[in-house]
Chain A
């Protein structure tokens, strides 16, 4: 499988072949990462012609034994005393309805041979929608019917206040991060079918960057430094204006 180092090196080579020089390898890696992330995000939210959402586990990561914390004190923002929560252990995509969190479940086995994530899952809600749940006997949060709501990088829970839950399991649609220690030589975490698209996007961006004239670059200074003030005469490429007075005076001198 393709590694990021191989992929980015190939793009670097192509840029050099196209006489686009001066783009550093780290820069190419960074461009690769955000085009890979864009591809993964768009792929995950894509729908077919009749509205059914693309469903794949390609970018799903399961985190087991995420510690459940009960806040002992309040720290603004987002830490509220007495409430149980987990910290999302990795960067995830911000899909609609928090679908970057594919599921949260208990870690133990529900029945013999039946993993908990196939039995009791935490249902997603939000602080504003949670009130309705308490109106219905069937939907009221309980250990058998727990809920979570996301607040930034934390997930808070409803229904497990009265029970001891040390750990939870979560399936998350994670973002692509090329800057981890071993990421360069790991198999690239994107479908092989994406490489052609991403290669084109990075090459286009590299070429575009090289097309920008240096004079238009923002050097973050409000005035030009003395050495950058043009010293040669600026000559317009347009046809010169005709000064009739000057022509007449020249004629009189020659006479």
Chain B
């Protein structure tokens, strides 16, 4: 996360502006929960569009089921590690690789996959061991792998010798049902996103009155390059200056 949590503003601060803008200080057009829901959705959309929120979470390894549900609010798994010890003392951490099409029901219950040790048919004849033996350990027990299907991560039996799993993923700002907090650099985008949504719904009630208002807000939000949404994206892309500077330094110091 490239911003301080102390700079975040609460949903109430966003609502304070939005309610005035929509002339709904009495909250008669929409109820308070509806506004919070829209703010949450705005943050989710920002997360999907900008990948601004990198999260990680540790779990006990599911040694029996070998499967783990992806955390709430996560939408893009970036890394999977297994390790022993605990968060304060990580021992022997290993990277877990993705094995496409791997499906298992649990420990000692076997699995299916296209690339599987012992496959023998006219097209795939003991495929894995014959190809990788020069480079990698030849047995499934030596390779740590997993797959993801419908938000469920399934691990190989070899991972069960580790007690913890760490997932790195992109996420949304908070779980559904919680009150969201908004990074200050997204404040304007979130505000306009909520206003645009509300005016779009109000158009159904009184199109002649609300359509001009909606057009104005939609323009402020979605105008290319200068709209609040594009500005939010630009801000996120400019946030990783440390990472960009370091990469530049690495590359410029290489002797080629």
26 interchain pairs (CB within 8 A)?
Answer: A51-B209, A52-B23, A99-B28, A121-B27, A123-B31, A123-B32, A124-B28, A125-B31, A133-B31, A133-B33, A136-B33, A136-B34, A137-B177, A138-B33, A138-B34, A138-B36, A138-B37, A138-B40, A139-B33, A139-B34, A139-B37, A140-B33, A145-B31, A145-B32, A145-B33, A147-B31
For residue B176, CB closer than 8 A to chain A, the reply is yes
Chain B contact residues, CB within 8 Å of chain A:
23, 27-28, 31-34, 36-37, 40, 176-177, 209
Q: B176: nearest residue on chain A (CB-CB)? A: A137
CA distance A95 to B90 in the complex (A): 66
Hey, what's the 0/1 contact readout for A137-176 against B, CB within 8 Å counting as 1? 1111000010100000000000000000000000000000
Distance of A140 from chain B, by nearest CB (Å): 7
Q: Kindly state the separation between the CA atoms of A136 and B31 in the bound complex, as whole angstroms.
A: 12
Interface magnitude class on chain A:
10 to 19
Q: Is the CB of A97 closer than 8 A to any CB of chain B?
A: yes
A81 to B40, alpha carbons, bound, how many Å?
A: 37
Assembled-state Cα–Cα distance A125/B34 (Å): 13
A residues apposed to B, CB below 8 Å: 51-52, 97, 99, 121, 123-125, 133, 136-140, 145, 147
A145 to B209, CA, bound (A): 30
A140's nearest neighbour on chain B, judged by CB, is: B33
- Least CB distance, A210 to chain B, in whole angstroms: 45
- Given the complex, which residues of B lie within 8 Å of A140, measured CB to CB? 33
Query: Which of B23, B31, B37, B177: most chain A CB closer than 10 A?
Result: B31
Given pairs A133-B31, A136-B33, A145-B31, 19 additional interface contacts (CB within 8 A) = A51-B209, A52-B23, A97-B28, A99-B28, A123-B31, A123-B32, A125-B31, A136-B34, A136-B37, A137-B176, A137-B177, A138-B34, A138-B36, A138-B40, A138-B177, A139-B33, A139-B34, A145-B32, A147-B31
Which residues of A have CB within 8 Å of B32? Answer: 123, 145
* Chain B, residue nearest A136 (CB): B37
Q: How close is A191's CB to chain B, nearest CB, in angstroms?
A: 22
The answer to whether A139 touches B31 (Cβ under 8 A) is: yes
Chain A residues lying within 8 Å of B209, measured Cβ to Cβ, are 51
Per the bound structure, the CA–CA distance linking A140 and B34 in Å amounts to: 10
Closest to A141 in B: B33
By a CB distance below 8 angstroms, the chain A residues around B36 are 138
Pair A123/B27 contact, Cβ less than 8 Å: yes
Q: Which residue of B lies closest to A125 (CB)?
A: B31
The residue of chain B having its C-beta at the shortest distance from the C-beta of A98 within the complex is: B28
Q: Which A residues are CB-close (under 8 A) to B177?
A: 137-138
- In the complex, which residues of chain B have a beta carbon less than 8 angstroms from the beta carbon of A145? 31-33
Q: Return B209 CB to nearest CB of chain A, in Å.
A: 6
Complex Cα gap A139–B27 (Å): 13
In the complex, which residue of chain A has the Cβ closest to the Cβ of B206? A51
Q: How far is the CB of B77 from chain A (nearest CB, A)?
A: 24
Q: Which residues from A are CB-within-8-Å of B28?
A: 97, 99, 124
Bound together, the chains give a CA A121 to CA B33 distance in angstroms of 12
Most chain B CB within 10 A, of A124, A139, A147, is at: A139
Once the chains are docked, how many angstroms separate the CA of A138 from the CA of B43?
15
In the complex, what's the smallest C-beta–C-beta distance from B84 to chain A, in angstroms? Answer: 37
